[in-house]
Amino acid sequence: MFTTAVSSHTATDLGRCGWPNAYHVFEVISTCETNIIGHLKACLMESTVVATVTIVAPQKSMLKELEEAVEAELRLMPYRARIKFQPLEPFIEELYQS
């Protein structure tokens, strides 16, 4: 069963799928990636209930830029193993399988 949680960010900022003892956050990026570092800090540094954050973007080039931005943020390095990067395509394929 999935549940939802709300942080200091609005519900449209972060989509969360909840499992019994932890939350796995899916950050879906379409055009605005400037606040990704703030979202990651809120999820991983300021929260004790988020297990992982998966960043989803429509283009692999965008994912690379986001990953470079995350790697440049030294305060996030202890949490790096809990941050995943995924292209949007596999999610779309799974949703629209015939």
- Domains of the chain: which residue ranges? 15-95
Residue 35 has pLDDT above 70, yes or no: yes
What pLDDT does residue 87 have? Answer: 93
Residue 39 CA to residue 27 CA, distance in Å, equals 8
Max mean pLDDT range (46-50, 63-67, 93-97): 63-67
At residue 48, the 3 state secondary structure works out as coil
Residue 11 CA to residue 39 CA, distance in Å, equals 12
Residue 91 has pLDDT above 50, yes or no: yes
Q: Report yes or no on whether pTM surpasses 0.75.
A: no
User: Do the beta carbons of residue 25 and residue 2 sit within 8 Å?
Assistant: no
User: Do the beta carbons of residue 88 and residue 66 sit within 8 Å?
Assistant: no
What pLDDT does residue 28 have? Answer: 83
Max mean pLDDT range (7-11, 16-20, 75-79, 94-98): 75-79
